[in-house]
Amino acid sequence: MARIDLNGLGHSYLKRPQARADWALKRMDRTWDDGGAYALLGPSGCGKTTLLNIISGLLTPSEGQILFDGQDVTHLPTAQRNIAQVFQFPVIYDTMTVYENLAFPLKNRKVPADQIDARVREIAGMLELKDRLHRKARGLTADAKQKISLGRGLVRSDVAAILFDEPLTVIDPQLKWMLRSQLKHLHRRFDYTMIYVTHDQTEALTFADKVVVMYEGEIVQMGTPEELFERPAHTFVGYFIGSPGMNILPAEVEGARARVAGHEIALPGRFGRPAGTTKLEIGIRPEFLRLGRAADGEGVPAHLKAVEDVGRFRIARTRLGDYEVAVMCDEHDEIPADDLRVVFDPQRVNVYADGHRMEGEA
Amino acid sequence: MDKPINNKAWLFVLPVLVLVAFSAVIPLMTVVNYSFQDTFGNNQFFWAGLEWYREVLSSERFHNALWRQFLFTGIILAIQIPLGVAVALAMPRKGWGVPVCLVLMALPLLIPWNVVGTIWQIFGRVDIGLLGYTLFNLGIDYNYTQDPLDAWITVVVMDVWHWTSLVVLLCYAGLVSIPDAYYQAAKIDGASRWAVFRYIQLPKMHRVLLIAILLRFMDSFMIYTEPFVVTGGGPGSATSFLSIDLVKMAIGQFDVGPAAAMSIIYFLIILALSYVFYTVMTNAGRER
């Protein structure tokens, strides 16, 4: 187990990167705590896998350093980093039995046979593979294969971190839940540092203590699921996390008031316009909006476009000026057809300058 | 599951049946017919029973040709398969080198077989051939028209030059289909270069390798054109492999009956050996 530090780390697949867009990973300084369960979340092509491969040593970063427990491993090859990795598609050695697969990393490291045996049996027990130890790995189901490839990482007692690259993509939905909770259990019991790459927010939010959201080669937020939900640091996080995502509305801001399409909205504090800002926006989650009537005397006028029933609640799609605003309503709430008002919870409104969240002054 | 029986299905198979009948079944049956009969020309035939089979199977000439054939095929497989795998492993996986290598590899396969024979026939000549002349001037006594060993070496090297590419291309196709994750996992597991070959590349190449061995076995067992052009089966009958010997018998001596019997025996040997090869290798793959 180890703490992982990224110091000024950046990577480009080009030989001579020039524009900012040439960098697959933009310069970053981050620390991943020992024993933490992290999820790397982001859309395809945002640099998740690049970052993962740099940590595992399959890629050498163009600039910056990577430290395991304070020791520089930037130029150490994968085999010497004590990293385990589980790939998107199960990687198993076809011709070997389950036992031989699990023993393989230890055998390569010349561990004595009796130690290998003890360790393999222990790990097989943990992963519930004990009854299949002497079967060919080839004939097993995808989830069992994925367990084997996880097991090959776990058998090494000195593993610094376990990396997962969208490991549940090929697993059946009902088994996904099982495997994920098994992973969570392993994490709690053995305190492995785990980094889990995914583009599925449910997977990220249920697995991780801390979710790292990436967007266009940058880490835009690293936080607990609650933080991501309540205070998205970037409009992308707001939009990407949650279903439906956060409502983002271009606005003008003056003190503790925002102006959207000619209507005033109260803010949780006073905000200024930082110098050089080209775009100010406010963001609020559909969960923190309410529908009201004109007669109630509060809220902003809007038109109802559609109502989606998604089981325990409904989503009202409304139009506020030129902007679409989604509002989450209870299943039994009455949705007024006309003279509609959308009511904002002032404490839950976030203000963004060029996409980045600002802190208000009281 | 019960499958419905519909006799109309035969209609759809019929064209193929007719085609195969004319291209394979009827010619083969003609040979079978010849092999049981004797003729002195004039389209008159006499029943000979198993006489020709007895004669062929007990003739020393057939034994020698068969032995030469096995030796040749054995040497060819022993060189071409490992060499093909090695070349495939050494070929680049990406970049500009890939098309260059692929075209270079495909070149020998694109040349008509008799041209391959002619190329090597001239190449090896001591008076005008680049190879023969060079060897001669280096003081090496090389003459494939007179020395049986030289003739063998020439024919084997020619076949290696001609056909190793096929093994290379098949293996290469198997190799490039291995996802990168396997190599990355092997790195993480600390596997040696040999272990990567033994546990990742070889198992993934297993199927194409099986096909490569089968094809090379059958083709080399039936080899005719190239040695016929280069050595004509000589010196003496040193490089008279089965098919060369067969043609000598059928066309040179017009012994249609024994030649037909020999054809059938020849055919059955290839069929049986291919079957054995195939079963052994597919089972070996399953066992491991």
Does the beta-carbon distance from A79 to B195 stay under 8 Å?
no
Q: What is the DSSP letter of A136?
A: B
Q: Do A160 and A1 meet the contact criterion of CB atoms below 8 Å apart?
A: yes
For residue B76, what pLDDT is reported?
93
Query: Least CA distance to B285: which residue of chain A?
Result: A95
Does the beta-carbon distance from A89 to B185 stay under 8 Å?
no
Q: What is the mean pLDDT of residues B63-72?
A: 90
State how far the Cα of B173 lies from the Cα of B36, in Å rounded to an integer.
Answer: 46
Does the beta-carbon distance from B190 to A58 stay under 8 Å?
no
Architecture of domain B61-287: Orthogonal Bundle (1.10)
* Residues from chain A contacting residue B185 (CB–CB below 8 Å): 85, 87, 91, 149, 152
For residue A6, what pLDDT is reported?
87
- CATH 3.40.50.300 boundaries in chain A: 4-228
State the angle between helix axes of B256-287 and B51-58 in degrees (0 to 180), rounded to the nearest 10. Answer: 70
Say whether pLDDT at B82 is over 90: yes
Q: Is residue B1 very low, low, confident or very high in pLDDT (cuts 50, 70, 90)?
A: low
For the sheet with A280-284, list strands across it.
Answer: A247-250, A280-284, A350-353, A356-358
Of the candidate CATH numbers 3.40.50.300, 3.10.129.10, 1.10.357.10, 1.20.1250.20, the domain formed by A4-228 belongs to 3.40.50.300
Of the candidate CATH numbers 1.10.150.130, 2.40.50.140, 1.20.1300.10, 2.60.40.60, the domain formed by A247-358 belongs to 2.40.50.140
Percent of chain B with pLDDT over 90: 25
State how far the Cα of A315 lies from the Cα of A243, in Å rounded to an integer.
Answer: 10
Say whether pLDDT at B236 is over 70: yes
- CATH 2.40.50.140 boundaries in chain A: 247-358
Cα pseudo-dihedral A286, A288, A292, A298, rounded to 10: -130
Does the beta-carbon distance from A78 to B191 stay under 8 Å?
no
For residue B282, what pLDDT is reported?
77
Q: Quick one: tokens of B68? A: 């030469």
CA triple A156-A160-A164, angle to 5 deg: 85
For residue B288, what pLDDT is reported?
46
For the sheet with A4-11, list strands across it.
Answer: A25-32, A4-11, A63-68, A71-72
Say whether pLDDT at B287 is over 70: no
Maximum average pLDDT range among A44-58, A173-187, B65-79, B230-244: B65-79
Does the beta-carbon distance from A87 to B188 stay under 8 Å?
no
**Distances from the Cα of B126 to the Cαs of B132, B138, B229, in angstroms?**
4, 12, 16
* Residues from chain A contacting residue B200 (CB–CB below 8 Å): 93
Q: Dump pLDDT digits (tens) for B88-134.
A: 999 988 888 899 999 999 999 999 888 988 898 888 888 888 888 88
For residue A242, what pLDDT is reported?
84
Out of B185, B195, B203, whose CB is closest to A94?
A: B203
* Residues from chain A contacting residue B288 (CB–CB below 8 Å): 95
Q: Do B174 and B209 meet the contact criterion of CB atoms below 8 Å apart?
A: yes
Q: Dump pLDDT digits (tens) for A99-140.
A: 998 899 888 888 888 889 988 988 888 888 888 888 888 888
Does the beta-carbon distance from B181 to A89 stay under 8 Å?
yes
Residue, of A137 and B171, whose pLDDT is higher: B171
Beta pairing class for A263-271 and A300-309 = unpaired
* Residues from chain B contacting residue A161 (CB–CB below 8 Å): none
For residue B83, what pLDDT is reported?
95
For residue A293, what pLDDT is reported?
85
Does the beta-carbon distance from B184 to A149 stay under 8 Å?
no
Residues in B 183-212 with any Cβ partner in A closer than 8 A: 184-185, 187-192, 195, 199-200, 203-204
Q: Do B272 and B218 meet the contact criterion of CB atoms below 8 Å apart?
A: no
Q: Residues of chain A whose pLDDT is less than 70?
A: 1
Does the beta-carbon distance from A84 to B188 stay under 8 Å?
yes
Bridge partners, residue A196, by sequence? A39, A164
- The reply to whether A77 touches chain B by the CB within 8 Å rule is yes
